[in-house]
Amino acid sequence: MGNRGMEDLIPLVNRLQDAFSSIGQSCNLDLPQIAVVGGQSAGKSSVLENFVGRDFLPRGSGIVTRRPLVLHSLTHYFKWKKFTDFDEVRQEIEAETDRVTGANKGISPIPINLRVYSPHVLNLTLIDLPGITKVPVGDQPADIEHQIRDMIMQFICRESCLILAVTPANTDLANSDALKLAKDVDPQGQRTIGVITKLDLMDEGTDARDVLENKLLPLRRGYIGVVNRSQKDIDGKKDIRAALAAERKFFLSHPAYRHIADSMGTPHLQKVLNQQLTNHIRDTLPAFRSKLQSQLLSLDREAEEYRQYRPDDPSRKTKALLQMVQQFSVDFEKRIEGSGDQVDTVELSGGAKINRIFHERFPFELVKMECDEKEMRREISYAIKNIHGIRTGLFTPDMAFEAIVKKQVVKIKEPCIKCIDLVVQELINTVRQCSDKLDSFPCLREETERIVTSHIRDRESKAKEQVLLLIDVQLAYINTNHEDFIGFANAQQRSSQANKKSSAGNQVSVLVIRKGWLTINNISIMKGGAKEYWFVLTAESLSWFKDDEEKEKKYMLPLDNLKVKDVEKSFMSSKHMFAIFNTEQRNVFKDNRFLELACDTLEEVESWRASLLRAGVYPERAVVKIKAKVESESSGPSENFSMDPQLERKVETIRNLVDSYMAIVNKCIRDLMPKSIMHLMINNVKEFINAELLAQLYSAGDQNALMDESQEQVQRREEVLRTHHALKEALAITGDISTTTISTPLPPPVDNSWLSAGAGSRR
């Protein structure tokens, strides 16, 4: 037989298939098999019956094999559903086929597994596939040919599958559909064995000697000829043993085949297939075992946890509840503190997002709420005039300063409340992300989210009360003795001092605030359209370069008189945009009044706007139009904002004082807001989860109900345990295999270009 050292290898693989079929899957491993491919009435079923030695396959016209039949012929017996009457086997195959495909001659890729145990057969595993057809019969769909081809390709395209291409001798071999399909998936012919049937039905005076000797239309593994029973023999219940004897006699007596009789016939085909399959299994076994071990290792830890888990054990449920709450607490703290083991590389979240809110978004909102410069001066002038009343004041009134400052301080409430809202939203998102690990227990997840979210909302109201109290404290007393406040005496000199500082700053090295890629959107199509450049923002200018090496500078834009405005997202682009413009209506970049810049995300836009704020480029503000109420006809439009030189000096003085004091207030608020939110909300929520969440869950209701598993988790546990057991069993089966075998080398390559030529001539 030529491979006796591996005699038990094929039954071993069959046992592996049994182990995997018990869990309803193949563990994603391609088990070595032989697929039988051929056209209708090519004799595939007769070849299989000759292997087994009994009639057991359905017969009829049209497509009889409508589901893949996995046939295992074995010399040893393993536990399986037994049939001793082969008529019952045929009936069982027909019934099982109709159960899945119906009675309308449809097909299905779901295989039927059949084990044949006998001391008179060799160890083989074959898959009988539906015959290739051209024309639908009866209620078959119009695309039945494509369905069958797709099903065949699912099996034979695997590198671990040997292809048994069956072709009748009384047809044109060059047009064989079986060989054509084999050529498509196995162009080198390493996995294809040709089988020629119906040699006894060839026209008188013709034979297939050149084909069987592999001289005409050669294949790398060659051809084996067989003689099956005729339809008359089948109808007459001719014994297959007698048919095999007649086949042997045919080859010995035929003048064209007697010299190759020992390499022809069903018994020889059995031996060749057994040897090739055994060699193939041996070659693929190391990778096969490696995959098994890899899958087993990936399931070990999870399977061990599931084995120890007892769903109905109250003590186990209590322990699981404690572990879940503790894990939730650890995950929440890690996401906030930034030491998580699962780092998000796609977007900011948790503590990083809150940090951005504190130090980029909140300062940006503070600057955004500042009023327009002209409007500020108008309000100051009205305040001064209203305080003096009918008299003309000689001195700058401090009441005007106080009134304007309080109005500005009140405006801080809105960005402060918005900051708290953003932090609350991120905390709730973090809670939901941390509760993902509680998916196995839907009630526990729902209750945990409800309790923690309710506590966050409770702390939200307290934090807002405290922040509003901070604003009220600032309103209660305007501290003009603050060490950073410039005072009335220095207010008038502030502008000149600022100019001196600016000129001194030019002599110092430039501070780089930010670098990064931005797309300039308003470049004309004639000049190439939107382009991406490397931008460098300093305290004095915005420059862009060809790339991040910063060698080829494209342009440098001074920041004087620049402001930022929003730009609506274009339906033609997925990017988010903003624009820079000059307040004096000058061109910003070449012939463009605006410089439109684009980023991939809205967060990048906000980050760039915050960086521009640091450089002194403020956002555009909507000019509030105030209509002065005309008291009499004498107060015309020019009266609304006309100032004499003395009033203008007073306005400038108070404007400088307001700037100085609001800088102190903003600095204080920017410092106290993160501290207040951390103390009143974030740290409090962490302490609540650590100390009180478990108690709240216990008081919420029945702990057993909380720990009821989801149906998905039950199925997952059962599947993992079954798969783990099957993998262990498979590894145990492969553990004792002897690798000392007698191997038959692969035949040398042959010129099989005739396959392509034959297919081309047919087309």
Residue 370 has pLDDT above 70, yes or no: no
Mean per-residue pLDDT for 19-42?
A: 68
CB atoms within 10 A of CB 743: 14
Out of 43-47, 124-128, 405-409, 461-465, which region has the weakest mean confidence (pLDDT)?
A: 124-128
Among residues 146, 144, 184, the alpha carbon closest in space to that of 163 is found at 184
pLDDT in tens, 567-596: 887 666 778 889 999 888 888 887 788 888
Question: CATH 3.40.50.300 in the chain, residues?
Answer: 33-292
388 or 429: which leads in pLDDT: 429
Question: CATH 2.30.29.30 in the chain, residues?
Answer: 512-619
- The share of the chain scoring above pLDDT 90, in percent, equals 12
Among residues 271, 239, 247, the alpha carbon closest in space to that of 197 is found at 247
Q: Which long-range contacts (CB under 8 A, 24 or more apart) does 180-184 make?
A: 180/755, 180/758, 180/759, 181/37, 181/132, 181/149, 181/152, 181/153, 181/156, 182/37, 182/156, 183/752, 183/755, 183/756, 183/759, 184/153
The helix (run of H) or strand (run of E) holding residue 228 is none
Sequence-separated (6 or more) residues with CB below 8 Å from residue 70: 17, 33, 111, 112, 113, 114, 125, 126, 127
**pLDDT-based confidence at residue 454 (cuts at 50, 70, 90):** very high
Mean per-residue pLDDT for 327-336?
A: 89
Residue 371 has pLDDT above 50, yes or no: yes
Most distant CA atoms of the chain, gap in Å: 140
Residue 6 has pLDDT above 50, yes or no: no
Residue 270 has pLDDT above 50, yes or no: yes
- 3-state DSSP percent of the chain in helix, strand and coil, to 5: 55, 10, 35
The radius of gyration of the chain's CA atoms, rounded to the nearest angstrom, is 43
At residue 176, the 3 state secondary structure works out as coil
695 or 59: which leads in pLDDT: 695
Mean per-residue pLDDT for 196-209?
A: 87
Residue 60 has pLDDT above 50, yes or no: no
Residue 465 has pLDDT above 90, yes or no: yes
- What pTM was estimated for this model as a whole? 0.52
Question: CATH 1.20.120.1240 in the chain, residues?
Answer: 328-495+645-707
pLDDT in tens, 375-386: 777 777 777 777
pLDDT in tens, 74-93: 544 444 556 666 667 667 76
pLDDT in tens, 88-120: 766 776 666 666 665 655 566 666 667 766 665
CATH 2.60.40.650 at 328-495+645-707, yes or no: no
Average pLDDT score over the chain? 76
Judge whether 578 and 611 are in contact, CB under 8 Å: no
DSSP 638: G
pLDDT score, position 489? 56
Residue 458 has pLDDT above 90, yes or no: yes
Residue 228 has pLDDT above 70, yes or no: yes
CB atoms within 10 A of CB 667: 11
| Gap between the Cα atoms of 192 and 333, Å rounded | 61
Sequence-separated (6 or more) residues with CB below 8 Å from residue 504: none
pLDDT in tens, 590-646: 778 888 898 888 888 888 888 888 788 888 764 333 333 333 333 433 344 445 566
Work out whether the CA dihedral 115, 120, 123, 128 comes out positive or negative. negative
pLDDT in tens, 497-556: 444 444 444 444 457 888 888 998 876 654 557 888 999 988 888 999 988 888 888 888
At position 716, the amino acid (one-letter code) is: R
pLDDT in tens, 125-152: 778 788 777 676 666 677 778 888 888 8
pLDDT score, position 460? 93
Class of domain 512-619: mainly beta
| Gap between the Cα atoms of 88 and 343, Å rounded | 61
For 107, phi then psi, to 5°, come to -125, 165
- The share of the chain scoring above pLDDT 70, in percent, equals 68
Q: What is the CATH number of domain 33-292?
A: 3.40.50.300
pLDDT in tens, 289-309: 888 888 888 888 888 877 777
| Gap between the Cα atoms of 28 and 292, Å rounded | 10
Mean per-residue pLDDT for 40-64?
A: 64
